[in-house]
Structure 1
């Protein structure tokens, strides 16, 4: 290009020496693109010379409407006069664009041929890097001049913007990372308008990824638009990761928490997060002053070894917990409420005294709740202060107790369903008012829930309870008023069941205590949940109340998640009665999804073999009546004889209310006694040598209010049973046996459980014949008095053989605590006591006692017990010592 203007040549020379793209080339968006519209040549038969200036002004207006920066007519004319321009061509148009600080110039002509108007124009790029673009528009009649100008402006705009589009984005220089690591993080996309500011932003964003030492951008012009190339220089590849200085924490544990892995590109941002995670691991172990850094070992710029550098420092324990401001309440009692604790003698083993920072806020809230539950309504506990010293950690809680309020009285207002006396029976704060006891906020919450539940039992599902507390600050008392709003009574519109893929709907519905059309009851809803849980068919049971368009109707949605109810198990174990034994079982507790229970079980040991085939339908034809059958075969070797039995039962059950059930069955058994030691055996056994028949009826009443089928935490189980054999129903065995069994479960803090169990039994003759010794009572072993061998607690005959008691009593006290919630593992300690008495003996105040501990696992194969008991009393002049026993089966 030949420069006719010295200033233009100088400008182009400077741009060339700098090696930069002129700003005009970098602009892409319309508002950043400047244009100069030059005069148009008019070729017409009529006198249309005035259009030489008017036509460019019309074009300027249309281009401004499209967002372009267009130089004004005055500036354009001034530039033409200044440069003494007499005619226009490509070279002059380009020079004028540069002098006008514009990226483009537009010039052309208007020609009239007959009635047609031809508008011809050229778009000239200022730097000359692009070829000029011609345009032409043809319209009929001068009246269409404005549409012609508008069409010309559209074409110019399309051309300028198309030239500034990004046609392609490339990544170069990367050897380890894929192109997508860059491309997926770019906000710019192919087809977007080219914008240098946006490019700079993308460069910064790529730097912030942390993977690159250098990022540069190259832009190339193509026929399709701008080709943008990101030239990157990667940080080195991590060939290996090492840990230096770590002793207290295993190196593998440190590497496991790191996101940086071997084979990855070094990223300082990720490494900084990794160092933070490592410091947190050390803090959780008590190393609060641990320092963690890193270094790189490089022999090749493209590869590096990453070393994590650790200075562990000393392990710090909580040496002192201070509660400042506690005046009325004892600081020792307050410390008992904390999850954090001071260092103890065995902290190195138990972890006691290690600071868990996430518990600081929890403990502050626990102290505040402890105060509010003891009448300190204004008590505040500040943010705990933690001080790290060379000796250890000191934690300080700052307490403002405030005044202590007692309950002056309790009242009820609003929609009262019953008298205030009956409402007061649902609350506890009224008892505190009678005793002038301190106000307890936890009791207040329980009262609100109790009153709400009371109203829901009458169908008021949306009942609300507001509380008004009037304080007498002079007397330090508070009067509590419960304002009750029953709102509308609600009925169940529909009960729907979701999530059951195997269990049939009717099996679930018969456990529900609410059905379509019933008045809503909170107690019935909770009871339905418990009954479904106790089926033990489901991992999860959730009964949701769903409002409908009618506020007096609601839907119940029973959502269940089924679990496996079939069991195929085999195992081996040891017990004091059977020594080593093998067992196997096939059982299905929800056969065909109908709630049937069917099982086949076999047990084999040196002294006993037993086969059982059992079936039970808890709801015969969906009625309350349950029915089933049991067939068994048993061989048993006693000390002085063997017994082989084959028999069966027909059994039934029927509910007597919500928690009580009546059971009865008839048993018919044929048994043979042989291998009798005539010198040792009881006379009654000698008389039964050979084949015998046992015919017995059994009846029991069982009341069960526990919350779970396995491992209940609250409730009671009481069973009274009687078995009648011989007499009117025939058979060779004549006896009547009575047994009363009771269990009590009480939940304790931290998911601990107290369990008390007791059983008393008595068997008596039903004829002149003695009660067979195998129907009498023997104690010892897993199911009664642990720590003593099975059947060892029994009256003896003259030769010292156990002959069984006519009366029996034993009791168990157990304290259970979770070892692993995920595995269903429970630990326990226990105290047992019991004894049996012959027909002519009576209770003398002495019982055989035992203590011990054990583990219970509620496994997928059923409950397993491993327990060690130590007998505290002598049998036959010898101490029992300790007994470790294992069993699989139901717990008492």
Structure 2
């Protein structure tokens, strides 16, 4: 019998053979069972698969069943049933086991990762060797290399027999060179040149960034996606009849170069002549038409048609029509190259949410999730409320993934369940690290955070950070739901030391100690107010080089400094519609805050600050930002405004291109022949910035470039806020939210740095604005 035939037909041939022999087997009562031929398999395993036990009768049917069962285990390649008087003898020949699994020549994939992958298809050390699995393993390994563009890769498996019926499997791999796309040729384009079309797709020929994004490596999946992108581009420009006629992908004999040809037919450009609404109109026609972004007289745009259908469906979903269906049906006039659309609206049945089911929160309490829900049980289905609920859960930062499903309730046509499955992530951290700043130098710190303390959603944080200018020790505890209505409460204690001798400002040192409590109250989904009281003790130390204004504040009898005790009242309001806190693409953020030193103690002052940031997504990857900030401070007591509460401006977080806190009024020191920035009680800042991805990294959510223009200044209490005194700068920057914290790198040019010549005590002092072309900041700012 040919071996290949024997293996292919082994169930039928063997069973047929033993069925024949079993027919000649006289039934007998089994007095004992013996297993011959086993080396690794336990005898008990064989006994478990036998249909007969000692004391039972053995016949040909049971013999056939026994052979079939033992073959089915996959442990044996040969099985025989024999009778030795009244002893049942089972003779087996075991399949070989894989003792070793080795790889050679693999550089792109580590051996341990390859072993993990092969284990998924049933090939691993300790498992039974199956040659069909070996063939599959070769193909799988080669497929992985093909995905990297290595079309010349070869994989050959060598099987070496070992003692005790074992084998060693060796995969010899020749990776070969990576195949590169040398040319992409688009044929049939007339309305757009090839360069414009090639810029819309991801596949490209080798360039300066392709070593990173691998877009010069061909894959069928990438080409399919690019063809759809090309189709969408034409469809959105009015080409209703656009079609991709064919694609050809060829590779050179040495499998190093790939050439792609795309044949297209553009067709004619179509104009929209009419837009109608039909079906069950639950919305007012005027409201529904406002949701349609495509207008008559415009060129056909598939994206606008899709967005309009979705907008109407979402609007109906907000009213409980979870299964609303909106179809835009075209009426095409090929002679005139026009098209009219009728939006057929089928709202379906109105449904309500029966139950909200939460799964996956093994550590976080149910109440922490449920208090974020804006969709209520037994209420009408609201798509906007469900989406907002998901957003609120994601903003907690307790979960790596939030999945929402709304399955229909079996047996009903007007009910759905809201199933929310979360994947919890670690919310506690102890970080030891260092930051680097062009102003602070090296900043060392340790931070202990637990944002979901004992699964309650409460936040505990302790921080110690040291730098040349700022040294901070703080401890805080926040209960975000101190009341069921969402009023938060925060306790905090801190010590903050400031040494300005390293800055281009008047020198002084302060040591502040404080403790306080604050409350936050949401007004709605986007607005909140806050209020808090802080007891603060600040010790001010002056030096011989401290400005005379600082000495006057402390009093002539306290030339070395002074102590200040105060109770600070903090009030605030915030409005936030940003889609992302880290890297916003659209939305508005406003903040109004007030700090007041209450009367009766040493500090009697107030400071008011306002910030308004506006983000607009020009494209999905390009964002324009406008930011404006204003601050004002004054005293209402007998003392002057505390100089250590002054506003300062300049540096990587305000007007870039100028040294930190260096812009604004200056005090001239004739002894040291230099000028000091002393800050001011009024502050103006404006920023215009365009964010865009690094070329070749369009999908990066944590790294982006920007170009900007900054303007700002500070003014003393007796100065008029003259916009002509604003300092300007422009430049480019990169922001990276790295695993070590946020990193900023800025290349900026001061546009109107001032150089003043001041005559003082017979001396001429040149007071230049302090500028910096390169500025950076690494590590979190606390």
TM-score when normalising by structure 2: 0.77
Alpha-carbon separation, structure 1, partners of 2:235 and 2:343: 19
Q: Does the residue aligned with 1:759 lie in a helix, a strand or coil?
A: strand
Structure 1 residue aligned with 2:649: 779
**1:702 Cα deviation after fit:** 0.9
State yes or no: 1:412 paired with 2:412.
no
Shift in CA distance, 666/222, structure 1 to aligned 2, threshold 3 Å: same
Alpha-carbon separation, structure 1, partners of 2:161 and 2:363: 63
Structure 1 residue aligned with 2:11: none
Contact residue 544 and residue 558 of structure 1 kept, 8 A: yes
Alpha-carbon separation, structure 2, partners of 1:439 and 1:396: 27
Summarize the alignment of residues 131-210 of structure 1 with structure 2, pairs less than 5 Å apart: 162=27, 172=37, 193=60
Q: Does the residue aligned with 1:326 lie in a helix, a strand or coil?
A: coil
Alpha-carbon separation, structure 2, partners of 1:294 and 1:506: 56
Q: Does the residue aligned with 1:621 lie in a helix, a strand or coil?
A: coil
Q: Which residue of 451, 456, 464 maps to 2:325?
A: 464
Q: Does the residue aligned with 1:797 lie in a helix, a strand or coil?
A: strand
Alpha-carbon separation, structure 1, partners of 2:159 and 2:430: 57
Contact residue 573 and residue 593 of structure 2 kept, 8 A: yes
**1:502 Cα deviation after fit:** 4.9
Structure 2 residue aligned with 1:16: none
Shift in CA distance, 779/812, structure 1 to aligned 2, threshold 3 Å: farther
Bigger relative contact order (CA 8 A; separation at least 6): 2
Summarize the alignment of residues 604-619 of structure 1 with structure 2, pairs less than 5 Å apart: 604-619=466-481
Question: Could you give the per-residue CA deviations for residues 822-862 of structure 1, whole angstroms, max 9, x where no partner exists?
Answer: 998545555462432323252225414453324213x5xxx
**1:446 Cα deviation after fit:** 1.7
Structure 1 residue aligned with 2:523: 656
State yes or no: 1:445 paired with 2:306.
yes
Alignment length (residue pairs):
721
Structure 2 residue aligned with 1:813: 689
Q: Any gaps of 5 or more consecutive residues in structure 1?
A: 1-22, 34-102, 104-124, 131-159
Q: Does the residue aligned with 2:143 lie in a helix, a strand or coil?
A: helix
Summarize the alignment of residues 458-857 of structure 1 with structure 2, pairs less than 5 Å apart: 458-548=319-409, 549-591=411-453, 593-639=455-501, 640-677=507-544, 680-683=547-550, 684-687=552-555, 689-725=561-597, 729-745=599-615, 757-766=627-636, 770-786=640-656, 788-799=658-669, 800-805=675-680, 806-811=682-687, 813=689, 815=691, 826-829=703-706, 831=708, 833-839=710-716, 840=719, 842-844=722-724, 846-857=727-738
Q: Does the residue aligned with 1:508 lie in a helix, a strand or coil?
A: helix
Contact residue 364 and residue 384 of structure 1 kept, 8 A: no
Question: Could you give the per-residue CA deviations for residues 324-366 of structure 1, whole angstroms, max 9, x where no partner exists?
Answer: 2333344333322322212336756764422223323222333
Structure 1 residue aligned with 2:266: 401
Shift in CA distance, 188/475, structure 1 to aligned 2, threshold 3 Å: farther
Task: Report which stretch shifted further, 362-371 or 561-570.
Answer: 561-570
Contact residue 181 and residue 258 of structure 2 kept, 8 A: yes
Contact residue 809 and residue 836 of structure 1 kept, 8 A: yes
Q: Does the residue aligned with 2:540 lie in a helix, a strand or coil?
A: strand
Contact residue 753 and residue 817 of structure 1 kept, 8 A: no
Task: Report which stretch shifted further, 614-623 or 740-749.
Answer: 740-749
**1:387 Cα deviation after fit:** 0.8
Alpha-carbon separation, structure 1, partners of 2:427 and 2:491: 20
Alpha-carbon separation, structure 2, partners of 1:595 and 1:645: 30
Shift in CA distance, 817/367, structure 1 to aligned 2, threshold 3 Å: closer
Contact residue 194 and residue 226 of structure 1 kept, 8 A: no
Contact residue 106 and residue 173 of structure 2 kept, 8 A: no
**1:317 Cα deviation after fit:** 1.5
Alpha-carbon separation, structure 1, partners of 2:604 and 2:95: 98
Question: Could you give the per-residue CA deviations for residues 623-645 of structure 1, whole angstroms, max 9, x where no partner exists?
Answer: 35444443333332333322222
**1:320 Cα deviation after fit:** 0.9
Shift in CA distance, 485/686, structure 1 to aligned 2, threshold 3 Å: same
Q: Which has the larger radius of gyration?
A: 1
Structure 1 residue aligned with 2:777: 885
Task: Report which stretch shifted further, 292-301 or 678-687.
Answer: 292-301
Structure 1 residue aligned with 2:315: 454
**1:196 Cα deviation after fit:** 11
Contact residue 360 and residue 384 of structure 1 kept, 8 A: no
Shift in CA distance, 495/778, structure 1 to aligned 2, threshold 3 Å: same
Shift in CA distance, 221/506, structure 1 to aligned 2, threshold 3 Å: closer
Q: Does the residue aligned with 1:600 lie in a helix, a strand or coil?
A: strand
Contact residue 659 and residue 771 of structure 2 kept, 8 A: no
Q: Does the residue aligned with 2:661 lie in a helix, a strand or coil?
A: coil
Contact residue 849 and residue 871 of structure 1 kept, 8 A: yes
**1:438 Cα deviation after fit:** 2.6
TM-score when normalising by structure 1: 0.69
Contact residue 246 and residue 264 of structure 2 kept, 8 A: no
Alpha-carbon separation, structure 2, partners of 1:416 and 1:719: 42
Structure 1 residue aligned with 2:292: 427
Q: Does the residue aligned with 1:360 lie in a helix, a strand or coil?
A: helix
Structure 1 residue aligned with 2:194: 331
Q: Any gaps of 5 or more consecutive residues in structure 2?
A: 1-13, 502-506, 670-674, 755-767
Shift in CA distance, 613/192, structure 1 to aligned 2, threshold 3 Å: farther
Contact residue 325 and residue 401 of structure 1 kept, 8 A: yes
Q: Does the residue aligned with 2:483 lie in a helix, a strand or coil?
A: helix
**1:270 Cα deviation after fit:** 4.5
Contact residue 655 and residue 728 of structure 2 kept, 8 A: no
Alpha-carbon separation, structure 2, partners of 1:202 and 1:566: 53
Contact residue 633 and residue 646 of structure 1 kept, 8 A: yes
**1:660 Cα deviation after fit:** 1.1
Summarize the alignment of residues 249-398 of structure 1 with structure 2, pairs less than 5 Å apart: 269-293=132-156, 315-344=178-207, 351-382=214-245, 384-389=247-252, 392-398=257-263
Structure 1 residue aligned with 2:763: none
Contact residue 832 and residue 851 of structure 1 kept, 8 A: no
Shift in CA distance, 418/195, structure 1 to aligned 2, threshold 3 Å: closer
Q: Does the residue aligned with 2:668 lie in a helix, a strand or coil?
A: coil
Alpha-carbon separation, structure 1, partners of 2:163 and 2:351: 78
Question: Could you give the per-residue CA deviations for residues 212-237 of structure 1, whole angstroms, max 9, x where no partner exists?
Answer: 9xx777664445698563557969x8
Contact residue 289 and residue 314 of structure 1 kept, 8 A: yes
Alpha-carbon separation, structure 1, partners of 2:266 and 2:52: 63
Contact residue 656 and residue 729 of structure 2 kept, 8 A: no
Question: Could you give the per-residue CA deviations for residues 18-77 of structure 1, whole angstroms, max 9, x where no partner exists?
Answer: xxxxx9x96848xx99xxxxxxxxxxxxxxxxxxxxxxxxxxxxxxxxxxxxxxxxxxxx
Contact residue 171 and residue 179 of structure 1 kept, 8 A: no
Alpha-carbon separation, structure 2, partners of 1:329 and 1:823: 29
Q: Does the residue aligned with 2:644 lie in a helix, a strand or coil?
A: helix
